[in-house]
Amino acid sequence: MAALAETPRGVAEGDLLWTPPAAYCALSGVERFRHWVNARNGLDLEDYEALRQWSVDELEQFWGACWDYFDIRSETPYLRVLDRRTMPGARWFEGARLNYAEHLLRREADHPETVVFHHSSELRAPATMRWDELGGQVRILAEQMRKLGVGPGDRVASYMPNVPETAIAMLATTAIGAIWAAASPEFGARAVIDRFAQIKPKLLFAVDGYRFAGQEFPREGEVEQILGSLDSLQHTVWLTYLHPDRPPPAGTIPWGKLLDQPEVPRSGFRYERVGYDHPLWILFSSGTTGLPKAVVHSHVGVLLEHCKVGAFHLGLRPGSRPFFYSTTGWMMWNILLACLLQDAAPVLYDGSPIAPDSGVLWRIAEQARVTHLGISPGFVQVMQKDGLRPRLHYQLPDLEMILLVGSPSTPETFSWLHEAVKPDLWVTSQSGGTEIASAFVGASPTLPVHAGEIQARSLGMDVHVWDEQGQELRGQVGELVVTKPFPSMPLRFWNDEGDKRYRESYFSTWPGVWRHGDFIRINERGGCYILGRSDSMLNRYGVCIGTAEVYRSVERMEEILDSLIVCCELAGGRFFMPMFVKLRPGAVLDEDLRNRIARRLRADCSPRHVPDQMYRVDDIPYTLTGKKMEVPVRKILVGWPLEKAASRDAMLNPSAIDWFVWFRAQNRVMLSS
């Protein structure tokens, strides 16, 4: 391990860090598509921005062009691309009948013996899977599920880790028209029940346990609780993963037995082709407060969106090897498997990204010859403060892109990746969500990269910045809104009568306009900055402050491993804005460090950014998808009971929230008076 590395200094927001070579641009999917669109429509779209503007001005032409360009195969022709530009309720490609899994697996016929998955875990050595192995197991499982009585519209739930068996289960489920829903095994039983009880699954795929950071986590007890709470279940398929030598529980179907069947040839298998409004899967919101939203997506909408994002925004090509660190309960796992649409070979990993050390993911990237790596800015911070410089320890000749996911990224993170990993990397970020199974703003391989900046608004997403009165803002911070429909918007929320919760979540502020709940700024060149959730924005005496600005400044300091800041509105129009910091071992939150934090925030941000008080904590609470729990902490501090403010089973580190409950009790008078 290298000596402790300094955080890069001297880089400013918006500094030019990378310009794509002309040859790289010319070979990219988005550039090929631009030329194809120009030739097909007699247009002269000069660059990405011209293509983007056309894609939102001419929605029907753009998405119809995507249908043809990606050779979407439907059993019946569609009547129209879009029935009306209305949200919610827009209908895309009515009349078409297709299947998402069929499109993911159709490359098998072209080269069955080519590797399609690289996979490893803390329990399994690195291995690969070929296209014919994947397709063959999907067909066997799909037919066995049909024999168990699972069919179109039935819900199939998964409590499985990021291993090939889970991918096979998802593909088999969607191949027969059943509806997939997943929770990763680090979820506690209560969090799983909160999700699956809403949708009443017919079949459950369950695992006996997993290993993370060298520690074993048996899950038999959690599965028993889940089974006892879901009276809709008729079958449970059991994967012995943690202890392969142990027999499965009575009444369950062993995974191996279910798959130990005669081969089902491609020509003899029938995909269930479904209409535009047939559910593909149900993705769940984080559920840190209240019941998680059960977001229903369609085969048609997700297929079009995932073709677009993979080819045009991630820059995938046949033979690409993408590796996005994710659990099965996060939307990025679905995006990873969607890379199959571009004939790419995804890399799956189940385990810790930082144990036994912060080189774990780089060793996997080296071994699998990864081309596209998706990691969180928080992981990059860990590497920086560990002094890791991957370019000195790992051979990464194929790595061309790093995608920063999960939270806003700082200019220093971009710059450090260029310095410590590879100088000619395409380092980029994106922002979207579970609700759209994709991104509103993201990457383009034809655009330059500026420090801390998301490169552009995504194609087909009519993203704008509005103020509180619904007026367009330019170069200023405002609400991220989408003013025209897009195919991957949810069909609905499950069990949401009259779409009440769906409308309240996204359309209650401006009817007919999607308000996502993020604060965003778009500069004159179209670069985007996400400044955090609008419900966690720090409103300091009428001045709005993005938490991302604070974290960027403070977490560059060597003593600080992590931080969290909230603003509590108190009686009499008063505000209390505390900051909580997790320190490096040996560091002390003394008067000197407090003063240096305050000086840095004044210099980097403004005097308004300086907290009223600073407190040391052992850990910062995160959701299972890696987001800081600012809103639940704020609710606890102003008096909400823990059970209403946060769900422990939806947390990555449940014990971290206890300190804030204790803090509220100790400071009740200050926080109430």
CATH of span 100-336+488-511: 3.40.50.12780
pLDDT at 643: 84
User: Which residue ranges does the chain devote to CATH 3.30.300.30?
Assistant: 537-672
Structural tokens at position 420:
């410590």
Per-position DSSP letters for 488-557, written without gaps between them? TS-SEETT-GGGHHHHHHHTSSSTTSEEEEEEEEE-TTS-EEEEEEGGG-EEETTEEE-HHHHHHHHTTS
pLDDT at 417: 95
Backbone angles phi, psi at 81, to 5 degrees: -70, -50
Place of tokens 């990873």: 336
pLDDT at 667: 86
Q: How many Å apart are CA 278 and CA 291, to the nearest integer?
A: 24
Tens-place pLDDT, residues 438-458: 999 999 999 999 999 999 999
Structural tokens at position 29:
């999917």
Looking at the predicted structure, is the pLDDT value of residue 8 above 50? no
Looking at the predicted structure, is the pLDDT value of residue 218 above 70? yes
Q: What is the mean pLDDT of residues 142-166?
A: 98
Q: How many Å apart are CA 171 and CA 336, to the nearest integer?
A: 13
Q: How many Å apart are CA 314 and CA 197, to the nearest integer?
A: 35
pLDDT at 624: 75
pLDDT at 95: 97
Binned at pLDDT 50, 70 and 90, residue 536 comes out as low
Burial class, 448, CB count within 10 angstroms (exposed 0-12 / middle 13-18 / buried 19+): middle
Q: State the SS3 of 127-191.
A: EEEEHHHHHHHHHHHHHHHHHCCCCCCCEEEEECCCCHHHHHHHHHHHHCCCEEEECCCCCCHHH
Tens-place pLDDT, residues 618-663: 999 988 767 888 888 988 888 888 888 888 877 888 899 999 999 9
Cα→Cα distances 279→173, 187, 294, 502, Å: 12, 24, 12, 16
Structural tokens at position 177:
């028209």
User: Which residue ranges does the chain devote to CATH 3.40.50.12780?
Assistant: 100-336+488-511
Q: Which CATH architecture has domain 537-672?
A: 2-Layer Sandwich (3.30)
Cβ(481)–Cβ(45) under 8 Å?
no
Q: How many Å apart are CA 174 and CA 153, to the nearest integer?
A: 10
Per-position DSSP letters for 340-398, written without gaps between them? GGGT---EEEES-SSSS-TTHHHHHHHHHT-SEEEE-HHHHHHHHHHT--HHHH---TT
CA nearest neighbour of 281 among 302, 262, 259: 302
Tens-place pLDDT, residues 478-509: 899 999 999 999 999 999 999 999 999 999 99
Binned at pLDDT 50, 70 and 90, residue 601 comes out as confident
The percentage of residues in the chain with a pLDDT greater than 70, rounded to a whole number, is: 94
CA nearest neighbour of 316 among 302, 336, 294: 336
Cβ(499)–Cβ(352) under 8 Å?
no
Name residue 529's beta-bridge partners: 521
Range in 60-74, 179-193, 247-261 the model is least confident about: 179-193
pTM given for the model: 0.85
pLDDT at 640: 83
Tens-place pLDDT, residues 71-86: 999 999 999 999 999 9
Handedness of CA 98, 100, 101, 105 (dihedral sign): positive
The percentage of residues in the chain with a pLDDT greater than 90, rounded to a whole number, is: 76
Q: How many Å apart are CA 462 and CA 397, to the nearest integer?
A: 37
Range in 183-187, 194-198, 519-523, 574-578 the model is least confident about: 574-578
Cβ(341)–Cβ(104) under 8 Å?
yes
61: which residues sit within 8 A by CB, 6+ positions away?
41, 54
